[in-house]
């Protein structure tokens, strides 16, 4: 009887050992990067316009990709990628940002370092050329996470960042958009926010987000972009996230942190967690529409969105890369 019991125990151990040996190994990327430049709309973007957008998305991608390929940090990669996007007038961040109902620009940005969970942000700034640079300096040179308005601008000046007149951010397209909204007594669709997430060769994850907010917004309105855990999060052990969408909804659902929590606490995969938050939470809320870009600790990239259009580009050390605006079959 004892011999049979011992045999059964040994047999079970062999089966368990065999199962463990057959577990698929996760291929870890040496580095990965993904960016977005806003999501929104109920119609696909025309092909010729999409091709124009993809030129700028690929240029932004090259900025961050080059840093990572040369052994640079994820923090530098996301910051410089977002700086490029802030300087491009096509998007709703920095130059080309949307206007408030009184015809001004109020900008928000955030950045987070997944290696130490440090974060920095600015909100409601009107004269800092590149808000993401100010966000990083808040993280690295103050004991704070978020500075707003005139206080953020004064800090930026102290740190030697470029200060510009508010009119620098204005484009004719955004002026026309505001005029139409005021005529209709309406508020604009939230789209055009930019962001980037990266994993570097040292295994560090960083994420950054920058926006002009919502067209025709009230003076002083702050959305999700500068709120850590709503739009932006980074943790080396789990995931990095940058988001774009209706800021009030993203804040109420703590979108970035929710994706992180579903992975960390419930063991969901990155794809499962992003799908759950975008489609089963955000998509069911009135006024929804937007998306997330994410990279997990292995360099896996997920871009999840419930809109017809999401400007995005991505690259991995293994060679996978691309840029898209409309949905593509491969995703």
Domain range for 135 is 29-324
User: So what's the pLDDT on residue 176?
Assistant: 85
Residue 122 CB neighbours (<10 A): 31
**pTM higher than 0.75, yes or no?**
yes
Assess contact for 39 and 278: CB atoms under 8 A: no
> Could you give the maximum distance between any two Cα atoms of the chain, in Å?
89
In 3D space, the residue among 208, 74, 205 whose CA is nearest the CA of residue 130 turns out to be 208
User: So what's the pLDDT on residue 175?
Assistant: 82
What Å distances lie between residue 76 and 16, 91, 204, 229, CA to CA?
A: 45, 21, 11, 21
Would residue 213 count as lying in a domain? Answer: yes
Assess contact for 166 and 76: CB atoms under 8 A: no
User: So what's the pLDDT on residue 89?
Assistant: 93
In 3D space, the residue among 29, 34, 32 whose CA is nearest the CA of residue 196 turns out to be 34
Would residue 320 count as lying in a domain? Answer: yes
Rounded CA-CA distance 321/268 in Å is 25
The beta strand positions in the chain, using DSSP E, are 32-40, 107-113, 118-125, 146-148, 194-199, 205-211, 232-235, 239-245, 290-296, 301-305, 309-316, 321-324
Would residue 18 count as lying in a domain? Answer: no
User: So what's the pLDDT on residue 22?
Assistant: 46
Would residue 271 count as lying in a domain? Answer: yes
Residues belonging to the active site: 193
Would residue 310 count as lying in a domain? Answer: yes
Q: What are the 10-residue block averages of pLDDT along the chain, 331 residues in total?
A: 47 45 69 93 79 94 98 98 96 93 95 98 98 98 98 98 97 82 61 92 98 91 96 98 92 96 98 96 81 97 92 96 79 43
CATH number at residue 248: 3.60.20.30
How far does CA 323 lie from the centroid of its chain?
Answer: 15
Interval 254-281: pLDDT, tens = 999 999 999 999 999 999 999 999 999 9
User: So what's the pLDDT on residue 47?
Assistant: 85
In 3D space, the residue among 255, 309, 314 whose CA is nearest the CA of residue 283 turns out to be 255
User: So what's the pLDDT on residue 191?
Assistant: 65
User: What letters, b where the CB count within 10 A reaches 16 and e where it falls short, cover 127-146?
Assistant: bbbbbbbbbbbbbeeeeebb
What Å distances lie between residue 14 and 6, 18, 24, 295, CA to CA?
A: 12, 6, 18, 36
Would residue 253 count as lying in a domain? Answer: yes
Cα angle for residues 137, 140, 146 (degrees, 5° grid): 65
Q: How many domains does the chain have?
A: 1
């Amino acid at each position: 009887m004892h011999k049979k019991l011992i045999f059964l125990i040994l047999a079970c151990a062999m089966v368990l050992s065999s199962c463990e040996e057959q577990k698929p190994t996760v291929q870890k990327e040496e580095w990965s990067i993904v960016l977005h430049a806003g999501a929104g709309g109920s119609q696909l973007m025309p092909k010729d316009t999409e091709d124009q957008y993809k030129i700028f998305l690929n240029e932004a991608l090259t900025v961050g990709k080059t840093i990572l390929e040369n052994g640079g940090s994820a923090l530098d990669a996301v910051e410089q990628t977002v700086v490029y996007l802030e300087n491009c007038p096509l998007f709703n961040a920095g130059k080309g940002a949307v206007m408030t109902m009184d015809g001004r620009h109020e900008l928000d940005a955030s950045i987070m370092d997944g290696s130490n969970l440090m974060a920095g942000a600015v909100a409601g700034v009107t004269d800092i050329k590149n808000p993401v640079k100010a966000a990083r300096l808040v993280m690295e040179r103050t004991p704070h996470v978020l500075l707003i308005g005139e206080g953020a601008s004064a800090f930026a000046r102290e740190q030697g960042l470029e200060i510009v007149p508010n009119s620098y951010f204005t484009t004719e397209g955004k002026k026309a958009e505001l005029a139409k909204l005021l005529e209709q007594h309406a508020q604009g669709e939230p789209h055009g926010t930019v962001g980037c997430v990266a994993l570097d060769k040292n295994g560090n994850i960083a994420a950054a987000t920058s926006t002009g907010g919502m067209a025709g917004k009230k003076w002083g309105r702050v959305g999700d972009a500068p709120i850590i855990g709503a739009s932006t999060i980074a943790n080396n052990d789990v995931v990095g996230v940058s988001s774009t969408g209706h800021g009030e909804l993203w804040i109420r659902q703590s979108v970035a942190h929710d994706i992180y929590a579903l992975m960390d606490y419930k063991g969901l995969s990155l794809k499962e967690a992003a799908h759950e938050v975008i489609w089963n939470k955000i998509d069911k809320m009135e006024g929804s529409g937007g998306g997330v870009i994410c990279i997990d600790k292995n360099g896996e990239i997920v871009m999840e969105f419930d809109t017809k259009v999401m400007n995005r580009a991505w690259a991995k050390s293994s060679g996978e890369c691309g840029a898209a605006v409309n949905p593509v079959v491969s995703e």
